[in-house]
Structure formats: structure tokens, C-alpha cells
Amino acid sequence: MVLYVQFPSWVRMEIIPSLPFRWYGLMYVFAFAVTYGLTLLQVKKGEVSLSRDDVDDLFLRCILCLLLGARLFSQLVYEGTWYYWLHPWLIFWPFRNGHFTGLAGMSYHGGVIGAILGAVWFSKKRHKNFFTCADALCAGIPLGYTFGRLGNFINGELYGRVCTKSWGMVFPEAPGFSTNYQWVRNVAEKIGMAYQHGQYLNLPRHPSQLYEAFFEGIVLFLFLWFFIRPRKGRHPSGFVFGWYLIGYGAIRFVLEYFRAPDENLGYIIKGGAGSDNIALFQSFRNISLGQILCFLMMVGGVMLLVVRKKESGKHDD
């Protein structure tokens, strides 16, 4: 009995074959458009003291800084070598070996830092409250972010660890594992995948992009939009922003146990068994860079809520 599925053969990275226009880039457009629309909706309802012109300016600055931060963080931190530190002019060069490749490689955490700097830039320029702007954006960002993860799925990238569940998916570009290893043969036999000794097998993985699209995107959006946002009038500005940092950080921290760490980095904290094999989940004490950054997000979110609550209490006095 076969207990896995193949990556859909009809899914293609290019929108139009042979042209350098990919669904991943279009998903970014969808993500920005959804977040923009939800921010305007809050403005129209009178929940945010911003004008249409303010929102346009805010998004322009945030998107610019987000893209810069996401790209820089991806190449300077996650790339794992000193190559781009020594060749910084190549960070935004979209060609490799004479072929157009686009800017493959964007970091979520770098994008967050960039977007925060963009909002600070806007608030200083327009003399607006930064936390009010951050709350408005964070209420809608997760739903937009859903499209980004769907783009990752279409690209067949950021897949999860080896999976023996029936929904485990074989991604075409995922590296194979030698059947000389006992654990590879065990997995193959459990899922009904035929093999020959010495062969390299492309084993099924958790479709972690879809997990993230659902939990970090849809679930977090519903939580912030329907449970946290309606209460922000009873709490100081920064309330939604703080809960966004906590919510995303917590969800992503857990989902990182299903997602394969970057091969060039592996585990940053090797606290448990099997830390030399990142393809399998073997211990909760093996921690990736993504989990460390998510933990910092949660700490930052909690600190923000505490500080903003104390500051509002002082103003009330």
C-alpha cells in the first residue's frame, strides 16, 4: 500500500512557460493587495486615523523596506557563508551564469524588520503614531501572508522533513537519500516505496508550506481580526502588533519541527538526539535559527504589551 502523494504535475512555477514571470512573484502582489485592502477597510470604518493618502505612503515605504530587509537577511544571514558579505553587489543581481533567475531567497524575519523600519520611517515623516500604524497593518498581514506560503508551495521549496503520513508529498527538487542508510530503508518500507540498495530515494516530506499558509496565515488572521482587533479600543495602541508577534512566533516555532532546517545551517542548538540528521524530527531540543528568531519575536511581543500597558496606565493617572 502506497502511503504518500506526488507533487501535482500540473503545478508550474512560471505563469507563462519560458517567460520569467512566476507565480511566486504574483503571490507577493496578492499578499500586498490583500493587506492593503484590509487596512483601507479599517480606515473606512473609522478605526484608524489615517487618510487614503497616508495608507498609500505607508505601504510604499513598508513594501520597499520589507523587500530590502527580506533579501538582505536571506543572503547575509541564512545563506550561511561569507560569499555575499564579500560580494554585496550580487545580492540584488537577478542573473546567474547568464540566465535570469530573479531574486530567489527572501527571509520572513528580515521582511518583518524591514517593514517595521518602513512604518517608523512613515510615522516620523507624517507625524503619526507608529503603534497605530503597526496595529492596522498587523490585523491584515497574516491573510496576505497566506499567499506567500502558497507561492513557496508552487515553487516546491521550503518543504518539510521526511514524513511517513499518507499526506506526505514527494517534491521533485528535494534531495534524495541513499538507501545505504537503514533509516531510509525503514521509511521506504513503511510507506510502500520500492527501492534498490544503493539507490537514492526522494522520500515524501511534510507539505509544511501548506501548514504555514493555514496556521500562520488563516488561523492567525481570524484570531487577530475577530478576537484581538475589536478589543484594541480598550487597550493602548500596539495591542494588535504585540499579539501578532506572539501569535506568529508561537505558531512558527511549533511548525519549524515539521519544516526542514536550512541544510547549510542545520540546527543552531543541538540539544537532543539525531542533531546530525536534519531530515528527520528526533528531538524537541534541536533548535533551528528560525525557532530562535521566533522565540525572540514572542519575547518582544510580551515586552511590548507590558510596556504599552504600563505607559497607558501612567497616562490614565
Q: pLDDT tens across 146-198, in order?
A: 998 998 899 888 899 999 999 999 999 899 999 999 999 999 999 999 998 88
- Give mean pLDDT, residues 195-213: 94
pLDDT band at 133 (very low <50, low <70, confident <90, very high): very high
Q: What is the pLDDT of residues 60-101, one digit of tens each?
A: 999 999 999 998 988 888 887 777 787 787 777 776 666 666
In the structure grid, which three cell numbers stand for residue 45, read together?
Answer: 470604518
Q: Which of 111, 114, 133 is closest to 123 using CA atoms?
A: 133
Confirm whether pTM is higher than 0.75.
yes
Q: What is the pLDDT of residue 313?
A: 64
Q: What is the pLDDT of residue 316?
A: 42
- Give mean pLDDT, residues 223-232: 90
Q: What is the pLDDT of residue 103?
A: 65
Q: What is the pLDDT of residue 274?
A: 87
**Segment among 68-77, 200-209, 229-238 with least mean pLDDT:** 229-238
Cβ-based neighbours of 270, under 8 Å, separated by 6 or more: 286
Reply yes or no on whether the pLDDT at 231 is more than 90.
no
Reply yes or no on whether the pLDDT at 213 is more than 90.
yes
Q: What is the pLDDT of residue 254?
A: 97
Q: What is the pLDDT of residue 109?
A: 94
- Give mean pLDDT, residues 217-228: 96
Reply yes or no on whether the pLDDT at 246 is more than 60.
yes
Q: How far apart are CA 13 and CA 11, in angstroms?
A: 7
Angle of CA points 276, 279, 281, to nearest 5° = 85
Q: What is the pLDDT of residue 28?
A: 85
Q: What is the pLDDT of residue 192?
A: 92
- Give mean pLDDT, residues 230-234: 78
What are φ and ψ of residue 2, in 5° steps?
Answer: -85, 125
Q: What is the DSSP letter of 77?
A: I
pLDDT band at 102 (very low <50, low <70, confident <90, very high): low
Q: How far apart are CA 181 and CA 201, in angstroms?
A: 11
Q: What is the pLDDT of residues 254-297, one digit of tens each?
A: 999 999 898 888 999 999 988 999 999 999 999 999 999 999 99
Q: Which of 287, 301, 147 is closest to 216 using CA atoms?
A: 147
Which residue did the predictor score with more confidence, 11 or 117? 117
Q: What is the pLDDT of residues 12-63, one digit of tens each?
A: 877 777 666 778 788 889 999 999 999 999 999 999 999 999 999 999 999 9
H-state helical runs in the chain = 23-44, 52-73, 83-86, 108-126, 130-155, 182-191, 208-212, 220-223, 239-255, 289-316
Q: What are the distances in angstroms from CA 167 to CA 7, 88, 163, 202, 285?
A: 11, 41, 8, 15, 26
Q: What is the pLDDT of residue 105?
A: 72
Cβ-based neighbours of 308, under 8 Å, separated by 6 or more: 131, 235, 236, 237, 238, 239, 242
Q: Which of 175, 147, 127 is closest to 35 using CA atoms?
A: 147
